[in-house]
Amino acid sequence: MKPTTRIGIIICDRYRCCAGGKCLRAMRNREGAFSCYGDAEVELVGFTTCNGCPGGNVEYAGDEMVKNGAQVIHLATGLVVGYPPCRSIAAFKAYLEQRYGVAVVVGTHPIPKKYLDMHTRLGSWKSPSWEPLLAPIMCDAETRARYD
């Protein structure tokens, strides 16, 4: 029997009505940030929003997800590709890791091509601090196009 990794996903509140289709597809197909799990079993134990800027639900959501067995919390790709990208993403990551002792991965599904194109034109991710945050969700051009 394969070991199971239990995960939670926190999405940007701008997308609070999102049904999670891209995140769940990427989880199922092990694409984007979920590629790190390979063929291991993954169980979703929580899915919620940050509750809007400045992320008032991150503390509560992290606590609830860990109580439900989360070992890893993903900060959804929407926090990265929204306009503007989340200014608190590094703080959320640091807080969740320090407070709850869980791994935090920035991203879920691959960055859709249309968002990569726009953020490249805007220069949103020019700072070197974005490089490690974008790496798990950048993927190849063909995969990005499938998530448009």
Integer angstrom CA distances of residue 130 from 20, 32, 98, 145:
24, 16, 20, 21
Report d(CA 29, CA 83) in Å as an integer: 27
pTM of the model: 0.94
The CB-based long-range contact list for 141-144 (8 Å cut-off, 24+ gap) reads: 141/113, 143/31, 143/32, 143/110, 144/110, 144/111, 144/112, 144/113, 144/116
| pLDDT at residue 115, as a whole number | 95
CB 68 within 8 A of CB 8: yes
CATH fold of the domain at 4-146: Rossmann fold (3.40.50)
Q: Residues 6 or more apart from 109 whose CB is under 8 A from it?
A: 22, 23, 25, 26, 31, 32, 33, 77, 137, 147
Chain mean pLDDT for the chain? 95
Local confidence band at 1 (pLDDT 50, 70, 90 cut-offs)? low
Domain boundaries, the chain: 4-146
Q: Are 26 and 109 in contact (CB under 8 A)?
A: yes
137's enclosing H/E stretch is helix 131-138
Which residues make beta-bridge pairs with 74? 9, 105
Give the model's pLDDT for residue 8: 98
Mean pLDDT of 7-22: 94
2: confidence class by pLDDT, cuts 50, 70, 90: confident
